[in-house]
Amino acid sequence: KAGVTQTPRYLIKTRGQQVTLSCSPISGHRSVSWYQQTPGQGLQFLFEYFSETQRNKGNFPGRFSGRQFSNSRSEMNVSTLELGDSALYLCASSFGGEFEKLFFGSGTQLSVL
Amino acid sequence: KNQVEQSPQSLIILEGKNCTLQCNYTVSPFSNLRWYKQDTGRGPVSLTIMTFSENTKSNGRYTATLDADTKQSSLHITASQLSDSASYICVVSARGSQGNLIFGKGTKLSVKP
């Protein structure tokens, strides 16, 4: 059974650009959630999608957005990149229940120059 | 404010020894508490998930405890191995907030031969 796949693995962008990250969940999982991990702040929740609908959202500015497709694949977009957006972006998938185990991908390492 | 605090920040132990990691939380209303292991450059991997009514859960050499009254949890690692070297992250979920996890900053464990 394939795990959660995130692409690309590494990304370098410059300030002001925009970026789109992709996440393919485990087959059968309908929930995809996104997290930002930095050395200073640790892991922080961005948003969660279930069956193409955003169910929960963290405290990030509107520059961070996402969507989920009918096949449960999800994308995250960051517009007008800032230096502080440099981070490891992780996605996780699950069946969507409150007590379900989350399965994380290996993440996309984004560097903003 | 919902918070999760972990101690110690880092820990060095010799292979074969036991260790215990601590987690205190102020998350309300509480749903469940999770422990994750994260190897460098990889996504977190779930070790245990505990609900309000559970006070001990084991996964091989890992045993987690939960005291919902004092809002404390611990992760005990028995007979440590070199492969246990990783960050261990305590994560708490508020009720009704799928995916919206509150993360501790983690304990970085180094197991030396």
Per-residue pLDDT reduced to its tens digit, A5-33: 999 999 999 999 999 999 999 999 999 99
| pLDDT for position B98 | 64
| pLDDT for position A109 | 97
- Identify whether the C-beta of residue A104 lies closer than 8 Å to the C-beta of residue A31: no
3-state secondary structure of B104: coil
| pLDDT for position A1 | 65
> Could you give the CA distance from residue A23 to residue A4 in angstroms, rounded to a whole number?
7
In chain A, the percentage of residues whose pLDDT exceeds 70 is 99
Per-residue pLDDT reduced to its tens digit, A42-92: 999 999 999 999 999 999 999 999 999 999 999 999 999 999 999 999 999
CB contact under 8 A, B43 and A50: no
Sort out which chain B residues have CB atoms less than 8 A from A47's CB and list them.
99
Interface of A with B (CB under 8 A): 4, 31, 33, 35, 42-45, 47-48, 50, 55-56, 58, 90, 92, 94, 96-99, 101-107
β-strands B107-112, B86-94 pairing: antiparallel
User: Least CB-CB distance to B98: which of A58, A96, A101?
Assistant: A96
Cα B104 to Cα A3, B10, B28, distances in angstroms: 25, 13, 15
Per DSSP (E only), the strands in B18-68 are 19-26, 30-38, 45-51, 56-59, 62-67
- Identify whether the C-beta of residue B3 lies closer than 8 Å to the C-beta of residue B102: yes
A40: confidence class by pLDDT, cuts 50, 70, 90: confident
CA distance A56 to chain B (A): 7
Q: Mean pLDDT, 10 residues at a time, over chain B (113 residues)? A: 94 98 94 95 94 93 96 97 97 79 95 97
CB contact under 8 A, A56 and B43: no
| pLDDT for position B97 | 67
- Identify whether the C-beta of residue A76 lies closer than 8 Å to the C-beta of residue A85: no
| pLDDT for position B99 | 64
> Could you give the CA distance from residue A12 to residue B93 in angstroms, rounded to a whole number?
33
| pLDDT for position B41 | 86
User: Least CB-CB distance to B98: which of A4, A35, A98?
Assistant: A98
Nearest CA in chain A to B100: A45
CB contact under 8 A, A97 and B95: no
